[in-house]
Amino acid sequence: MVQAYGADTGNGSMEPPHTGSRFQHLRERWTADRGIWRRGIVLAACSVLITLLMVLHAQIPNRIGNLGSLIETFLPWLAVFIPVLLVLGLVRRSATALVALLLPVVVWLNVFGGLLTDKSGGGGDLTVATHNVNADNPDPAGTAQQVAGSGADVVALQELPGGQVATYEKSLAARYPYHSVQGTVGLWSKYPISGTRPVDIKMGWTRAMRTVVATPEGRIAVYVAHLPSVRVKVKAGFTANQRDDSADALGEAIADEPLERVFLLGDLNGTMNDRSLNAVTSQMRSTQGAAGDGFGFSWPASFPMARIDQIMVKGVEPLSSWSLPATDSDHLPIAARVGL
């Protein structure tokens, strides 16, 4: 006689049940449960809500606390609710909840699944790096040397405090004979630069610049930018209006750029999903999206949750994109290799 918890071997001992018996028993319990389709309606509704947020995020209005942009900033993280709903669906023994869970799984994989694969390739003509070094960085010299150690031909730095500019210049001078600092942003290059000027992004002081780098494969325009910071406040919501205005101004400057090959390096304080950065993102490609390995989150460095530091290009082919080891900044430096 086969019992629920094992079989009698004839000598008084019990042998453990076969795995197939366990699954069969579980299946019989579920199929015999008449409430299997009636329970878990709330869980199923949560799955539908997550799906709608991913599919219709662009329709969420920004009029109230920039809610749409806030959701778009952390859109990939909606996936954390999927295992939670899975466990709750199993605990509730709800077929309705488990079937509904397929909706956000399929949509998330369709939207973000491409970022899970390694799209990096070999070769390339130019390597660039960018880093928000943090104005309160306790070791500017060490940070500069770490970024330079990436082997980048062009390095962009943001949030440079006036009192530490000389330290960064001294630390990078040996590898990069050409450089320019405009306000709180700077660019260091192995190749000659010219036509350097600040870019007005409507902030009242200089946090963006443009220069031309004369590479062996021809001239490229390089923009370095640090858009205004954003905050999440209880009453005001996602305070991103100043950043949005600066993004519009930066987008206009890039659109007016006469050179065909253009780079944007910097801290945009926003992700590629955020519709408020459309003035920039609509005309340039993200190297991480085109040639990265994973999401490439860059902030905060202690537990990166969003890629707000960007390397974007126009008129060149991204070949590889990656994050560099952490420095004493609250951002991770990032790098990319492109074909000119």
pLDDT band at 17 (very low <50, low <70, confident <90, very high): low
66 and 161 together in one domain: no
Q: What pLDDT score does 233 carry?
A: 75
108 and 135 inside one domain: no
C-alpha dihedral, 334 to 155 to 148 to 325, nearest 10° = -10
Number of compact structural domains in the chain: 2
Tell me, what's the pLDDT at 14? Answer: 53
What does the pLDDT look like over 3-16, one tens digit per residue?
Answer: 444 555 555 555 55
Domain for residue 6, yes or no?
no
Helix (H, G, I), strand (E, B) or coil at 253: helix
Q: What is the pLDDT of residue 239?
A: 83
Would you state the pLDDT for residue 65? Answer: 86
- pLDDT for residue 56: 94
Q: Which residue has the higher pLDDT, 78 or 31?
A: 78
User: Is residue 134 domain-shared with residue 112, that is, in the same domain?
Assistant: no
Give pLDDT tens digits for 62-110: 988 899 999 999 999 999 999 999 999 999 989 999 999 999 999 999 9
pLDDT digits (tens, 9 = 90+) for 34-72: 678 888 999 999 999 999 999 999 999 998 889 999 999
Instruction: Please tell me the predicted confidence (pLDDT) of residue 35.
Output: 77
Classify residue 22: in a domain, yes or no.
Answer: no
pLDDT on residue 2? 44
Q: Is the pLDDT of residue 205 over 70?
A: yes
Confidence at residue 22, expressed as pLDDT on a 0 to 100 scale: 72
Is the pLDDT assigned to residue 228 strictly greater than 70? yes
Helices (H), 205-321: 241-255, 278-281, 287-291
Residue 176 lies in a domain: yes
Q: Which residue, of 96, 116, 136, is where some domain finishes?
A: 116
**Cα gap 232→188, rounded to integer Å:** 34
- The pLDDT of residue 96 is 94
Co-location of 44 and 184 in the same domain:
no
Q: Compute the mean pLDDT over every residue in the chain, rounded to the nearest whole number.
A: 91
Main-chain phi, psi angles of 271, to 5 degrees: -100, 170
Render the burial of 90-104: b for 16+ CB within 10 Å, e for the rest: eebbbbbbbebbebb
Q: Are residues 162 and 298 in the same domain?
A: yes
Looking at residue 231, its pLDDT comes to 85
Residue finishing a domain among 97, 116, 135:
116
pLDDT at 235: 66
pLDDT, residue 5, reads 47
Does 326 lie in the same domain as 240?
yes
The verdict on residue 312 lying in a domain is yes
Task: In whole angstroms, give the CA distance from residue 117 to residue 114.
Answer: 6
Query: For residue 122, what pLDDT band results from cuts at 50, 70 and 90?
Result: confident
185 and 239 belong to one structural domain: yes
* Residue 103 belongs to domain spanning: 33-116
Mean pLDDT of 22-28: 67
pLDDT band at residue 32, thresholds of 50, 70 and 90? low
Helix (H, G, I), strand (E, B) or coil at 175: coil
Indicate if 68 and 155 belong to the same structural domain. no
Residues 102 and 251 in one domain: no
Please give the helix or strand (H or E) that residue 78 lies within, else none: none
Residue at 9 is within a domain: no
Alpha-carbon dihedral sign for residues 208, 213, 219, 220: negative
Q: Are 68 and 58 in contact (CB under 8 A)?
A: yes
Summarize the confidence of residues 164-175 as an average pLDDT.
97
237 pLDDT above the threshold of 60: yes
Task: Output the domain CATH number for residue 228.
Answer: 3.60.10.10
For residues 107-127, one letter each, b for 16 or more C-beta atoms within 10 angstroms of the residue's C-beta and e for the rest, the string is bbeebbeebeeebbeeebbbb
Q: What pLDDT, in 10s, does the model give residues 264-305?
A: 999 999 999 999 999 999 999 999 999 999 999 999 999 999
**In the prediction, which pLDDT does 232 show?**
81
